[in-house]
Amino acid sequence: MAQADGVDLTSGDLAINYITVFLEVTRNMYELVYQVTSVDQIRFLRKLSLSQAQAKEALTTKYGSTLTAPLAEVTEDGYTVIAHVVRQQELERHTFKVRRNGEMQSQITIIEQGMPVVIGI
């Protein structure tokens, strides 16, 4: 559909915006799914057990400096965009290969499971 609309992603910022909108409008509305740009945006449980508090601290330490806003890297025919999403209790890394015309391929890598986070809407 993007190709029919004449999409022309001429910059990394446009590619990031394109992917951000894609993630929002295609997310499953029946489970808690949201994009994160920092550890501070992960919706941890308010009351944590000792082991959950330790898990939260470990996640904060591990991803505090690496969980960032989406990044775009120029490729031969477009961009590679990396974004992070929380889906229920999992942290996912989404790697998109985006062409200038909006055509894309994605790869999802689950990088954390069983996080002590809110899982209901």
Residue 91 β-bridge partners: 86, 112
Distance, C-alpha 28 to centroid of its chain: 14
Q: Is residue 42 domain-resident?
A: yes
pLDDT tens for residues 70-103?
A: 999 999 999 999 999 999 999 999 999 999 999 9
Classify residue 120: in a domain, yes or no.
no
Which band of pLDDT confidence, cut at 50, 70 and 90, is reported for residue 5?
low
Residue 7 lies in a domain: no
Give the pTM. Answer: 0.90
pLDDT of 57 reads 96
Nearest CA-CA partner of 84 in 69, 98, 65, 74: 69
Token digits of residue 119? 């899982």
CB 90 within 8 A of CB 113: yes
The predicted structure's pLDDT at residue 4 = 57
Counting the structural domains of the chain, the total is 1
